Chains A and B, each alone.
Chain A
Amino acid sequence: MSVLMPQKRYYRQRAHSNPMADHTFEYPVCPEDMDWSQLYPEFYVDQTLAKGPVQVEFADIGCGYGGLLVELSPLFPNQLILGLEIRVKVSDYVQDRIRSLRAAETGGYQNIACLRSNAMKYLPNFFSKGQGLVYTNTDVEEVHLWMVKHFSEHPLFTQVPDAELVDDIIINRLGTCTEEGKKVQRTGGKNYLAVFRRVEDQN
């Protein structure tokens, strides 16, 4: 039985959801208790797929309709990618979309999954401390400037200069594969990208 692709029109929800309200979310008590096998069943059945201990290495905070997840999945086949989305309908859409993609004849997409959650509050429940990169992208200049200001002022982050990002495969896709990104392209808007690296505390 093949699984039909979900139709977006049944999953429309307005863009804003109050993250301070007490929505009911399921989240593990701590990262050690999280059962990732529910989201990535093939990675946990067949350990030969993973090179080392399996863990989620990419998190798309506010993944919307899952455009970026779907785009990145074939590029990083051995790494797990998680999308977090707070909206009920939208997270459900992504879950249905991934399910139908996995069930298709061509298969794949076992390394992406979506969770409905409030990243602001519950990120520490899912993930232990990590190092790495933060990619930010927006078409609103003020938001871009705000993000750059706050990340730059934060002693634990430093901005990665454009020169270092020339070969980055994620950068080129950030502005084009998401629903928002495509809308910006259609209306002739501009994409503002900024990448930050976690650094050690100087104090």
Chain B
Amino acid sequence: MAALDVCGEWLISTCDKKLIAVHTKQSREPFVFDCSTAEAKPKCTESDKSDVGGSEETSSDRILAVAVSTSGKRVALTDDTKRLVLFQCEPSWQVISTRWVVRRGTSLVFTKDENEVWMADKSGDVYSFSVVEPQKTGDLKLGHLSMLLSMTLTPDSKYVITADRDEKIRVSHLKSPYNIQAFCLGHLEFVSSLLVPPGHPHWLLSGSGDGTVKLWEYESGRRVQTWDLKQLRDMPNSENEKKSAVSRIAGSPCGRHVAVQCERLPSVQLFAVDQEGEAHLVPSSRLTLSHCPLDLTFDPEGRLWVLLDSREMPFLMYTHTGGSWTPNSVSPELKRVTEALRPHWDALQISAGLESRFQHLYKVSFDNMASYRQKKQERLQQQNEHWDKKRGPGNVQQSNGASKKAKGDKPVAQASK
């Protein structure tokens, strides 16, 4: 897993086991948090009841999800070792608390008031953790019956939106999550990415393993638009192209641009948001990159930052000028963050960030019915042959009217053995 997030004036790059925050405006010492050297789980007897030989459980310390609070004052991460770490960023970086979660997390998000951070996990549950009381254990909020892959809270703090492996997007009331407002149904594979785009508080953008991005009015569950990213790529041998899940959808602060990343493809698809007329999202340009992007994000000034799997040039920065997206390689900010990141950015990490997060989530289709139907067909054929032999021509097939009164166990005509 790799992630790129903006946190106030810091740019946070997360890859493999490390979180690295570099300052964009000043030459401040980067903050590095390495999960492999983080606090180990205390050997506690009670909570390990379900964890047979808990200390022997293989966990890799890999970071699974990161979140930044709206003000940029708090950051949270969760890793493969089931830690939930809370940080403060100002005036200096510091770990506030390390808590332990029951199951591995997949998505983290802070509430708007920053009093809680919510976590969605692999078993389908959502827990809320207090930020104000940083040691308090989590509170179960809602659950799906399938692994959760993405979660977001609406800007009016009215709803929590969760997306799972069973193609479902569920919109639930934040204060009473047992109350489901709507489902947004339409994806044909797991839903891997969600975003309520800035400036459009009633819209939801979703990305899926089916390679599409959909636009919804989430309160009613109404599907407004679908974009097939494979078609936009217009590849000559599109049938041979492996399925590529949408791994990130980002929105510019002005509300006019959306960037979409599909995993393991060296490109970024950009859309312009058009509020007049019918077409809400219009594809505007596609950026072709030298490497596959690990993640991308917009900064408060509306610039698009891309994190690459490159040691020499981990960051790309694009600005929207004259109607198109142009790379800026001379920006002092870009230089500053690149210099600051390089010493901490090693090859082992990067390759871990490139691994597909989603390939194993495609369901393997096993047809339970086929073999059953075949056996049944054979059985019926045998029965028919047997009866034909017994009764000869002119046989009268018993009607089953009488059997309605019977318990329904046997038909009137018995196959004798």
Chain B contacts of A6 at CB under 8 A?
411
B70-78, B275-283, B320-328, B360-368: which lies at the interface:
B360-368
B386 at the binding interface (Cβ < 8 Å): no
Are the C-beta atoms of B173 and A203 separated by less than 8 Å?
yes
A155-B404 in contact given A88-B369, A105-B399 (Cβ < 8 Å): no
Using a CB–CB distance below 8 Å, which chain B residues touch chain A? 145-146, 166-168, 173, 175-176, 178-180, 182-183, 185-188, 363-369, 372, 376, 379, 397-401, 403-404, 407-411, 413
Contact with A203, one of B175, B185, B376, B407 (Cβ below 8 angstroms): B175
**Contact sample, A vs B, 15 pairs, CB 8 Å cutoff:** A5-B410, A19-B145, A22-B363, A24-B366, A65-B408, A70-B408, A101-B404, A105-B399, A106-B401, A120-B145, A121-B146, A121-B166, A125-B185, A129-B180, A156-B178
How many contacts A-B (CB < 8 Å)?
94
Known: A8-B410, A23-B366. 16 other contacts (CB 8 A): A4-B400, A6-B411, A7-B411, A24-B365, A24-B366, A24-B369, A29-B167, A29-B188, A92-B376, A103-B400, A106-B401, A121-B145, A125-B185, A155-B179, A203-B176, A203-B179
Return A133 CB to nearest CB of chain B, in Å. Answer: 18
Binding site of B, secondary structure by majority: helix, strand, loop or mixed?
A: loop
Task: Give Cα A19–Cα B145 distance, bound, in whole angstroms.
Answer: 9
Are the C-beta atoms of A4 and B413 separated by less than 8 Å?
yes
A10 at the binding interface (Cβ < 8 Å): yes
Are the C-beta atoms of B176 and A5 separated by less than 8 Å?
no
Closest to B146 in A: A121
What number of A residues sit within 8 Å (CB to CB) of B?
43
Chain B contacts of A65 at CB under 8 A?
408
Contact with A201, one of B173, B363, B379, B410 (Cβ below 8 angstroms): B173
Chain A contacts of B366 at CB under 8 A?
22-24
Using a CB–CB distance below 8 Å, which chain A residues touch chain B? 1-8, 10, 19-20, 22-24, 29-31, 65, 67, 70, 88-89, 92, 97, 100-101, 103-106, 116, 120-122, 124-125, 129, 154-156, 182, 201, 203
